[in-house]
Structure 1
Amino acid sequence: MSGVKISNAIKKYETVQVIHGVDLEVEHGEFCVFVGPSGCGKSTLLRMIAGLEETTSGTIQIGDRDVTTADPADRGVAMVFQTYALYPHMTVAENMGFGLKMNGVPKAEVKRKVNEASQILKLDDYLGRKPKALSGGQRQRVAIGRAIVRGPEVFLFDEPLSNLDAELRVEMRVELARLHKEIGATMIYVTHDQVEAMTLADKIVVLRAGNVEQVGSPMQLYKNPDNKFVAGFIGSPGMNFVEGFAKDGSVDCAAFGNGSINTSVSLPAMGGAVTVGVRPQHLTIDPNGDGLIVDLVEHLGGVTYIYLNATNGERIIVEASAEVEAPALGSKVSVAFDPENMMLFDAKTEKRLR
């Protein structure tokens, strides 16, 4: 098993460029997640690593080998797709060992590797079944097992849980985390679901429009985002953003009342428009306040989400404990927060002000 190094990778389809000079290093044994909205280039970048998409320029290394122009079969990678792609007429054991069989691996060796993979994935009781007799989660485990038996240097996952229902997605997230811990393989995983990214990753790569916005551990990106896009994408529910005006070491924003909020953040000397960001759990409701109208209340058992509308049309979400009595729909309230939990972003560039 090896790490992956991408240097100034560019992908173009005729005149359309979809990957813009990506530089990235995935360490040996790391679980790296590519995350971003639909169309950001995460699957294209993964397919470039796999060799399923040609790299227009730049280089891709796996271990100490330059595989930029190598055939997919020669790269030492195994890919698990969103669709299971299992042969319906074959048993689980036959599906898992099919690739080895086609490569002329002796039957005894195929059986040994299939049995090893089935033990890791807890598929021993299903080896004689055909795919139609399996649940969605079991089928996905078979697809992963088919990758494991190949003994690749790097595992590549392209949104493998997207076809599963909510309960199975949680179950398979746990299975994947356990699998990574058990075999210690280098894994690169694509998802648009930031919850999957936060729970699985050692390293997250946030992509937007073919560019890497930020790379870091889940909590680094959550606590210290470089820009508004990353701040809003990482965390559920997303960060609240409202318009503000900064001057002389303080910020005014209508949605949080007309009072000035002092801050130690380095603000533009001449003042100017900023975006104020506060996460829902850092806000508290003042039922005696005014200026925000309660639009919706969601009770989720342990927590309650309260949706507020400001007079200027901005929306704010507050995360509260289920023990706190929620305000009535249509009532007027205000919110309070510790200024230390406030993040400020340049209104034009969206870069974080620090």
Structure 2
Amino acid sequence: MSGLTISNVIKRYGEVQVMHGVDLDIEDGEFCVFVGPSGCGKSTLLRMIAGLEETTEGSIHIGARDVTRMDPSERGVAMVFQTYALYPHMTVKENMGFGLKMNGHPRAEIDKKVAEATRILKLEEYLSRKPAALSGGQRQRVSIGRAIVRGPEVFLFDEPLSNLDAELRVEMRVEIARLHKEIGATMIYVTHDQVEAMTLADKIVVLRAGRIEQVGAPLELYRDPDNKFVAGFIGSPAMNFLGGSVKGGKVQVPALDADLEIPVTLPEDGRAVTVGLRPEHLAVDPNGSTHIVELTEALGGVSYAYLMSTTGEKIVIEERGDIRSNEGDTVGISYDPATAMVFDGETELRIR
């Protein structure tokens, strides 16, 4: 297995530049997840690593090899697509071994590698079936098995679970996590689902408009985002962002009807800032009268109250236990100012 290094990678389509000097190191055996909104460049970057998209400028190294201009078949990568891409007329066993067969590998070697992949993915009882006789989750396991038999240095996953229903997504997420632990391979995974990112990744790369916003471990990005974009993208429900301004060493937040003392170095008086508070760091105060509960969502062990402030800003609060808000209630909000994050109103960078 090998790590991967991306150095100053740029991608252009004609005069349109979509990747802007990306630099990234992925360690050997690491599970790295690319996340970001639609059109941010995460799938484009993955396809450049695979060799399915040409790299306009910069370099891509897998281990010590410069693979920037290599054909996909020479790079030592295997890609798992969201569409499965299985041959409908072939059995599971034939699908898994087809790539090795086309490259002239001996049948005994093919059978051995297919058997090993079958064991890892628990596909023994499906080997003689064709894709039409499999569920979506089983088809995706076959697609992953086809990648395993190639013995790649790097596995690439392009939103592999997006076509599955909610229950199967959870099941396959567990399967992929177990697979990574068992074979210890370097894996790069693209998703728009932050639950997948938070649960699978050793390292998350947050992309926006072809640039890396921040790289770090899942909890590092959650607890210590560098800017408003990362803070809002990581976490579900998303962080609450409330407008404020600096005055006398405090942050005035009209939506909370409060002046917050926040333990950071604030800019000069009058500067516009944004205060970020996560839903789990807020609580409903039934004795208050500054907000109206517009909607509640009960999800079993947790519920979410959607409040509207007198200033017209919406706030989401996570509630646990038996005491839940009711729609139409007039309430207040309690919180610990130390949990608040402050972002510059102009640059959107975190103020620490």
Query: Normalising by the residue count of structure 1, what TM-score does the alignment of the two structures yield?
Result: 0.98
Aligned to 1:144: 144
User: The residue matched to 1:260 in structure 2 has which SS?
Assistant: strand
Query: Normalising by the residue count of structure 2, what TM-score does the alignment of the two structures yield?
Result: 0.99
Q: 2:249–2:269: 8 Å Cα contact kept in structure 1? A: no
CA distance in 2, matches of 1:213, 1:296: 33
Is 1:26 aligned with 2:4?
Answer: no
Which consecutive unaligned segments of at least 5 residues does structure 1 have? none
- RMSD over aligned Cα, in angstroms? 0.8
Aligned amino acid, residue 41 of structure 1: G
The CA deviation at 1:255 is: 1.1
Q: 1:203–1:215: 8 Å Cα contact kept in structure 2? A: yes
Deviations 1:299-339 (A, max 9, x none): 10000100001122211000010422x23212211111111
Aligned amino acid, residue 351 of structure 2: L
CA distance in 2, matches of 1:50, 1:36: 19
Task: Kindly report which structure 2 residues correspond to 1:151-170, keeping only aligned pairs within 5 A, or say none.
Answer: 151-170=151-170
Q: 2:246–2:268: 8 Å Cα contact kept in structure 1? A: no
Aligned to 2:216: 216
Q: 1:249–1:264: 8 Å Cα contact kept in structure 2? A: no
Task: Kindly report which structure 2 residues correspond to 1:97-136, keeping only aligned pairs within 5 A, or say none.
Answer: 97-136=97-136
Aligned to 1:265: 264
The CA deviation at 1:261 is: 1.0
Aligned amino acid, residue 43 of structure 2: S
Q: 1:227–1:350: 8 Å Cα contact kept in structure 2? A: yes
Aligned to 2:325: 327
Aligned amino acid, residue 333 of structure 2: V
Identity %: 71
The CA deviation at 1:211 is: 0.4
User: The residue matched to 1:205 in structure 2 has which SS?
Assistant: strand
Aligned amino acid, residue 263 of structure 2: S
Aligned to 1:337: 335
Q: 1:91–1:130: 8 Å Cα contact kept in structure 2? A: yes
Aligned amino acid, residue 308 of structure 1: L
CA distance in 1, matches of 2:166, 2:326: 31
Deviations 1:48-87 (A, max 9, x none): 0000000000000000000111110000000000101111
Aligned to 1:346: 344
Task: Kindly report which structure 2 residues correspond to 1:77-96, keeping only aligned pairs within 5 A, or say none.
Answer: 77-96=77-96
Q: 2:240–2:278: 8 Å Cα contact kept in structure 1? A: yes
Q: How many residues align?
A: 352
Q: 1:247–1:267: 8 Å Cα contact kept in structure 2? A: no
The CA deviation at 1:231 is: 0.4
The CA deviation at 1:269 is: 2.5
Q: 1:249–1:265: 8 Å Cα contact kept in structure 2? A: no
Aligned to 2:187: 187
User: The residue matched to 2:296 in structure 1 has which SS?
Assistant: strand
User: The residue matched to 2:177 in structure 1 has which SS?
Assistant: helix
User: The residue matched to 2:242 in structure 1 has which SS?
Assistant: strand
CA distance in 1, matches of 2:118, 2:299: 37
CA distance in 1, matches of 2:247, 2:55: 47
The CA deviation at 1:290 is: 1.4
Identify the range of structure 1 (287-296 vs 220-229) with the bigger mean alpha-carbon deviation.
287-296
User: The residue matched to 2:69 in structure 1 has which SS?
Assistant: coil
Deviations 1:222-257 (A, max 9, x none): 000000000011011110001011122211111111
Q: 2:286–2:331: 8 Å Cα contact kept in structure 1? A: yes
The CA deviation at 1:143 is: 0.2
Displacement over 6 Å in runs of 4+? none
CA distance in 2, matches of 1:195, 1:248: 40
Deviations 1:258-306 (A, max 9, x none): x311112111123411000000001011111112110000110000100
Deviations 1:105-138 (A, max 9, x none): 1111101100000000000111111111111000
CA distance in 1, matches of 2:95, 2:132: 13
Aligned to 1:55: 55
Is 1:280 aligned with 2:286?
Answer: no
Task: Kindly report which structure 2 residues correspond to 1:64-83, keeping only aligned pairs within 5 A, or say none.
Answer: 64-83=64-83
CA distance in 2, matches of 1:264, 1:101: 63
Q: 1:247–1:268: 8 Å Cα contact kept in structure 2? A: no
Deviations 1:138-189 (A, max 9, x none): 0000000000000000000000000000000000000000000000000000
Aligned amino acid, residue 147 of structure 1: A
